[in-house]
Amino acid sequence: MPIDQYCVMGHPVEHSRSPWIHARFAALTGQNLEYTRRLVPLTGFAEAVHAFAAAGGRGCNVTVPFKLEAAQLATTRSERVRLAGAANTLVFDGGTVHADNTDGLGLVADIQQGAGVALAGRDVLLVGAGGAAAGVLGPILSEGPRRVVVVNRTPERAQALVQAHATVASLQKTELLAQPIQAPGADFDVVINATASSLAGEGVPVPATVLRTGGLAYDMMYGPAAQGFLDWATHHGAQARDGLGMLVEQAAEAFALWRGVRPPSGAVLAELRATMA
């Protein structure tokens, strides 16, 4: 019986733990599949997707910097993708490419269940306005925070992201606004770094005044790439958490889309943290 093929596409992609995670999901749920990494040229994403699908691939995850492009090339899109304009999960079926975005679901699950921090009624700072930020803002708003501020080095992108989500924010009675990255405000309950600054080894792009003592500072990166942000947050009295739990939770959502089976994400996250310790 042929083994169903899945992969993660990105640039870079060698750091990805997704193959290990999906191998454990498959083993624990009795699914017959293989999941690999694919390094894609910066100008060759669409070609790589179509080639993988034509070769029999069933689906793929998409990481930086291709999430916006993934949404654009799809033939059908989930409501989450239509809102975000970004996709991290593609499903191939009979020549069609369906795009979904499980990033926000994974982030919210890890913040609320993994870190034990409810988002309802809280003040949240989202740092970044690219594909990663776009993918999580809708699910964050759906939890009913009191206020969400978006900042980005390019202010116009932050403003565009806010405008795209204005209706959702209004329905939740959440104040949603874009602020200058140099003056984002202070004392947020939750600060989420959705930029690639950690991966690039750059400094934290916002001042430490955004942190509230005991508040949650969350980097969507994980492992060594997130360490600088985590050290910064801890030094300033915040509860620091990397994006490993988000990675596992979003992967579980993608796995369920592909296979129709919900894997045991909590057990796999515990295993993964143990292997990385």
103 assigned to a ligand binding site? yes
Residue 99 near residue 77 (C-beta atoms within 8 A) = yes
38 assigned to a ligand binding site? no
Supply the residues annotated as catalytic.
Answer: 67
17 assigned to a ligand binding site? yes
157 assigned to a ligand binding site? yes
271 assigned to a ligand binding site? no
Token pair 């020549």 is found at 95
153 assigned to a ligand binding site? yes
6 assigned to a ligand binding site? no
Q: Which phi and psi (to 5°) does residue 10 adopt?
A: -170, 180
129 assigned to a ligand binding site? yes
36 assigned to a ligand binding site? no
24 assigned to a ligand binding site? no
128 assigned to a ligand binding site? yes
- Residues in the annotated binding site for shikimate: 16-18, 63, 88, 103, 222, 250
> Which residues are annotated binding-site positions for NADP(+)?
79, 128-132, 152-157, 220, 243
Annotated binding site: 16-18, 63, 79, 88, 103, 128-132, 152-157, 220, 222, 243, 250
